[in-house]
Structure 1
Amino acid sequence: MQTSAFYGEMEVMENDVYDVIGVGIGPFNLGLAALLEPVTEIKSLFIEQKTKFEWHPGLLIAGSSIQVPFLADLVTMAEPCSQFSFLSYLKAKSRLYQFYFWEEFHIPRREYNHYCQWVAEHLSSCCFGQRVQAISWQEESQLFEVEIKDVKHNTSLIYHCKNLVLGVGSAPQIPACFQDIKSEHIFHSAEFLHRREIPRKSKSVTVIGSGQSAAEIFYELLQEQENYQYEINWCTRSSGFLPMEYSKLGLEHFSPDYIHYFYSLSPQKRDDLIKKQDLLYKGISISTISKIYDLLYERSVADNYPNIKLISGVEVKEVETINNRYRLSYRHSHQDEPFSHETDCIILATGYRHAIPDCIANIRDLMQWDEKGRYQVNFDYHLGLTKDIPNRIFVQNAELHTHGVGAPDLGLGCYRNSVIINTLTGKTVYPVKRQNVFQQFGIAA
């Protein structure tokens, strides 16, 4: 039975030791919570500071879809019969026939978000509106102590657990030349819908980046251009506005087989290889490119060429504020020539960086780090530790440098969670296969 005691303003939950506490509730930790629901021997708790599940809310643009098939939901690739599958969600919402007649494989991003919210509402292990303040290691009890702030009630709690899963997600990546400029007219693509009126009131809008988010924002701006009469500039340092690799054999890189191969390589070879694989996970979907081109073609009929400029191979080197506008200075990577223009609004679709949460400050010395300051991640997703203890710290989507391009892929979330659950229980709860694809990565031993 759970009891509690108060020390100052801190409520300590006594006799309530969790087998695992998850920090952050994004799709990956939510999937872990869902797959752990029927595993009665594991007592789990998942904590999120947001008041409800939200998956990139600033990019839930109408008409946008996730870039993986609906089978890459929270549970299906591990347990197709789970009550938390996307098909179960459709049945619960009386949408199975509509989905059946729709005949699409890639679902709307907004519906994926709503599906995740539905799952979260059915999991008692998921606690929203609570922020993990600090985590410490208790040598005497051989437990992690997790200090939590209840955002809504402004109270504090302390929990104890044997293992941790860090699933804090990533943070927007802001190029260095923009970091010292504070302006509501310069923002990351993650804030697009929250700041939708700013580009609408601008005479000139510039989108920087060439991934899926940049393309979706450009298309959204293009659709409204005739109403608001702004100029649109789309600039990227990439060599072109190129499609993501989506051939069937190319997709086999997002498999447990490739993870085994990639992990077997030396750290230097892994880093070199990742640099060459951008289009496996950073490009634009072919359907989005087609929609953009089709609209540009339609708008250019009868010599009415739209007021746009698309330039690749240019990197922003300097940003100046001039009379409430911004002058962007670039250099073209191939021609080695300067280029500049002025704009009123800048949308940075410049990707994300993997964040190391502040709450682990007290246990950083317990973790092993590589020479570049990254987590040392073992094959089964737990971190290398400096103490010989049975407790583990697992990571979600923080192992691109050790496990390869599949780390952020929703389709491999179930595989990673299966490995984590099997490791926690010491048995095969969710079977994982070594051979899943047709091709062979590397030379067989």
Structure 2
Amino acid sequence: MNSREIELLAIGAGPSNLGLAVALEELAPDLAENSLIIERNQTVEWQSGMLLPWAKSQVSFLKDLATLRNPRSRFTFLSFLKATGRIDGFINMGSLTPYRLEISAYLDWVARSLSKVSVELGRDCVRIEPSRDDSGTLTGWVTTLADGSQIASRYLVIGTGRDANIPPVLAGLSKGRVIHSTGYKQGVAGLSKQFPYRVAVIGSSQSAAEVFKALRTDLPDSDVAWVMRSIGPTVDPSSQFTNELYFPSYIDEFFDTPAEGRDRIRRELYRTNYSCVTPAMQRSLYADFYRDRLENREDRRMVTMTEITAAREQDGEVILELTDRRTGEVTELRRDVVFLGTGFAWRPPRLIQGLADAIGLAEVEVTRRYRLVVDEPAEAGCYLQGVNEATHGISESLLSVLARRAEDITLDIVAHRAANRFRHDSHSVVPSLVSAQSRLH
């Protein structure tokens, strides 16, 4: 079995862990040289399933991997534009928000520009287990990859994002019939552009709106019903005032607020990030519907105030049971394919929950500096990125805070290493994989 030891392993080559890599190279270069990012995909892409040619980021380019922490960094978005010869054109666009394709290209450029942190693609993590020494002290982690190889590390950072949310009523349908927005491009690529499919789009979020809009081009002859529980698409109600609660500087205040207060804040801010669309998307959608009416087209429509109360497959089609939330009337909608714009699950991702179970944790908690809380002696650390909204605020899953979060994690690891220097000086990163495995099994 192929195995190796490193000091820090980061799982997922998305914005969070690439931001961490940048912080490591600039703040802790010695640690960076013994750090590795693994990514299950063969390329570094941002929101690959929704890389639509017209889709834009919803945050300023200044909220990149480095600027809010170090504006002089060579890894800023402006440095990327300069290196790729597009800085003049971008400035001339007069927009703070880049196209999503450009953010994705920026992340790939950063991954290729790292000089100390290694990045390996096509490396799928299937399991993480704790490693302990003879005294029972937690000393590291053993990560098993899909090919059977293992990586032992003292520090672990999980930045894979949350799992896609598949509503329970639809969970039993075949994957070929139900496609989450995270796999939209891949899913629609397998459908004939000329065939008149009957399509349903579920949800009222920005992703649902983008799928609905994209289908006009990707499946132009299809009948598309956009089904949502709400009265209609709602515009993001953010303002400069509410946006201040997305600042990295607000995290301390949020973290120090009692749990009940944090929940109230999250409920107040929910519509600024979830189940809403941008003003630009709202205008575009309405213009599309207006033109449809001019042309007497009825093959693109919204079905609002409607709950999906049952679903089944029969004779090669999906049959959705729709319940009108106003009248209680039940009808059936027969579709060939269903696209989901239903966001992401609130529960911990499967990888994190599996790790928590392996350690024996009753619940997943992190410190202010994102270190997993373990109720046992530990000389190792595990950090979670992008999944701590309950304790760190609504910005946790967004680009807004990741540069400063990367700094927090890097400095916490540096301090933790210093506090345990005697172990690092006299031992390998973790006990041997052979001895670790004998204790694990």
> Could you state the TM-score of these two structures normalised by the residue count of structure 2?
0.84
Partner of 1:406, secondary structure, is helix
State how 1:249-328 maps to structure 2 within 5 Å. 249-282=241-274, 283-301=276-294, 304-328=296-320
In the alignment, structure 1 residue 129 sits paired with structure 2 residue 122: yes
* Match of residue 434 from structure 1: none
Q: Which whole-Å CA distance do the structure 2 matches of 1:363 and 1:287 have between them?
A: 41
Amino acid at match of 1:382: R
Q: Is the 8 A contact 2:231 2:305 kept in 1?
A: yes
* Match of residue 58 from structure 1: 49
Displacement of 1:365 after TM fit? 5.3
Q: Which whole-Å CA distance do the structure 2 matches of 1:71 and 1:404 have between them?
A: 20
Higher mean C-alpha displacement, 46-55 vs 287-296: 46-55
Displacement of 1:260 after TM fit? 2.5
* Match of residue 391 from structure 2: 402
Displacement of 1:359 after TM fit? 7.5
Displacement of 1:330 after TM fit? 2.1
Distance 1:276 1:327, change over 3 A: farther
Q: Is the 8 A contact 1:210 1:349 kept in 2?
A: yes
Select the residue among 207, 210, 215 that pairs with 2:209: 215
In the alignment, structure 1 residue 87 sits paired with structure 2 residue 78: yes
In the alignment, structure 1 residue 29 sits paired with structure 2 residue 21: no
State how 1:35-434 maps to structure 2 within 5 Å. 35-38=23-26, 39-42=28-31, 43-123=34-114, 124-132=117-125, 133-140=127-134, 143-149=139-145, 154=147, 156-161=149-154, 163-196=155-188, 197-198=190-191, 200=193, 201-223=195-217, 227-228=220-221, 230-282=222-274, 283-301=276-294, 304-353=296-345, 355-358=348-351, 361=354, 364=357, 366=359, 368-370=361-363, 375-426=364-415
Cα-to-partner distance string for 1:305-334 (whole Å, 9 max, x where unaligned) = 442221222221111334322221122334
Amino acid at match of 1:291: S
Q: Which whole-Å CA distance do the structure 2 matches of 1:412 and 1:193 have between them?
A: 28
Displacement of 1:122 after TM fit? 1.9
Amino acid at match of 2:293: S
Amino acid at match of 2:243: L
Gaps of 5+ in 2: 417-441
Q: Which whole-Å CA distance do the structure 2 matches of 1:56 and 1:414 have between them?
A: 19
Compare relative contact order (CA 8 Å, sep 6+) and give the higher one, 1 or 2: 2
Q: Which whole-Å CA distance do the structure 1 matches of 2:311 and 2:192 have between them?
A: 18
Partner of 2:396, secondary structure, is coil
Q: Is the 8 A contact 2:138 2:377 kept in 1?
A: no
Cα-to-partner distance string for 1:12-66 (whole Å, 9 max, x where unaligned) = 44xxx41x32122211011101121122242422222222212221110110011
Distance 1:249 1:363, change over 3 A: closer
Partner of 1:192, secondary structure, is helix
Amino acid at match of 1:414: A
Q: Is the 8 A contact 1:280 1:405 kept in 2?
A: no
Q: Which whole-Å CA distance do the structure 2 matches of 1:358 and 1:322 have between them?
A: 34
Amino acid at match of 2:103: Y
Partner of 1:130, secondary structure, is coil
* RMSD of aligned residue pairs (Cα, Å): 2.4
Q: Is the 8 A contact 2:248 2:400 kept in 1?
A: no
Distance 1:199 1:214, change over 3 A: farther
Q: Is the 8 A contact 1:368 1:383 kept in 2?
A: no
Amino acid at match of 2:283: S
Displacement of 1:408 after TM fit? 0.7
Amino acid at match of 1:99: F
* Match of residue 6 from structure 1: none
Question: Which protein has the bigger helix share?
Answer: 2
> Could you state the TM-score of these two structures normalised by the residue count of structure 1?
0.84
Q: Which whole-Å CA distance do the structure 1 matches of 2:272 and 2:14 have between them?
A: 22
Amino acid at match of 2:139: L
Distance 1:11 1:341, change over 3 A: closer
Q: Which whole-Å CA distance do the structure 2 matches of 1:361 and 1:295 have between them?
A: 45
Give identity over the alignment, percent: 25
Q: Which whole-Å CA distance do the structure 1 matches of 2:349 and 2:109 have between them?
A: 28
Amino acid at match of 2:79: S
Distance 1:407 1:358, change over 3 A: closer
Q: Is the 8 A contact 1:169 1:355 kept in 2?
A: no
Distance 1:384 1:157, change over 3 A: closer
Q: Is the 8 A contact 2:140 2:381 kept in 1?
A: no
Partner of 2:229, secondary structure, is coil
Q: Which whole-Å CA distance do the structure 2 matches of 1:205 and 1:356 have between them?
A: 29
Distance 1:195 1:110, change over 3 A: same
Q: Which whole-Å CA distance do the structure 1 matches of 2:124 and 2:216 have between them?
A: 39
